[in-house]
Amino acid sequence: MTTDAELSRDTARVAGQLLLALREGFGPIDDKDAANELRKRGDREAHLRIMELLSAARPDDAILSEEGKDDAARLDAERIWIVDPLDGTYEYGQGRADFAVHIALWQPASRELSAATVDLPAQGLTRSVLDPISGPPPLPTDRPIRIVASRSRPPATLPQTVAILAETLAAQGLNKHGVEIMDVGSVGAKVNEIISGRAEAYVHDTGFYEWDVAAPYGVAMHYGLAPSHLDGSAVMFNQMPPYVTDLMVSHPALVAPLRAALQAAAGS
């Protein structure tokens, strides 16, 4: 029998290939209307395929999908799949590679994401809790520390946070090259930048939904990163409404100085 983690990974890959094929066969995307039509079709077709595969394999499980109708019955379910069929919809319509498929399984009894996959089809990459890991590398000392943030909704205090963090890291002898801000699309793609060693943290403080967060959160934990709310508390899933107020995903060595910088910037 396919395990939950295998089902998550394999289903995300199927949806990812569907999205690639749809975009490649769509024709010219030379105006806003065409891009929006592609985005709508991608969201819908990936959602339907994921629902088909998960429902066939786990008919008794609840599914919370961005593109589906929410059902309060999920609040009493023992197993809830949390799905974003196309995270980074804007980037997908632009022909970019930083979009993703998110599929995670939340089990309320254990407060655990027991399966999680971020598929990055345009990058030919899948991140899953099945991946072999060796832990995050040391913080870089030959380049600036990099903080990933939303292109459209970065934290208002991020420039102050970056300045404070750069001073702290230099004073502690951890990094003398400063701190940069990176612009990446999907939440899953942002977390992948940290896993890949191209960035060290991701910060978001203006809220988003559980389907944006669940799979990247589970994958980040698997890879030895430190995902949490900005105050350090764990994110709980299967809430009503399914809303997550804020998120920080960090290299473990950066957690304390980054959180202190965020607090200092917020108080300035």
Q: How far apart are CA 63 and CA 74, in angstroms?
A: 7
pLDDT the model gives residue 162 = 97
Q: Could you report the average pLDDT of every consecutive run of 10 residues in the chain (268 residues)? A: 96 98 92 94 98 98 96 96 97 96 97 96 98 91 96 91 97 96 96 97 96 98 97 97 98 97 91
* CATH, range 145-267: 3.40.190.80
The DSSP bridge pattern shows strands 179-183 and 208-209 to be unpaired
3-19 b/e with 16+ CB inside 10 Å = b? ebbebbbbbbbbbbebb
- The strand ranges marked E within the chain are 62-65, 80-87, 100-107, 112-120, 125-128, 145-149, 179-183, 201-204, 208-209, 226-228, 243-244, 247-250
Burial of 263 (0-12, 13-18, 19+ CB in 10 A): middle
pLDDT the model gives residue 27 = 86
CA–CA–CA angle 217, 218, 223 (5° rounding): 100
Which CATH class for the 4-128 domain?
alpha beta
> What are the start and end residues of each CATH 3.30.540.10 domain in the chain?
4-128
What single-letter DSSP state applies at residue 242?
A: -
> What are the start and end residues of each CATH 3.40.190.80 domain in the chain?
145-267
Q: How far apart are CA 266 and CA 258, in angstroms?
A: 12
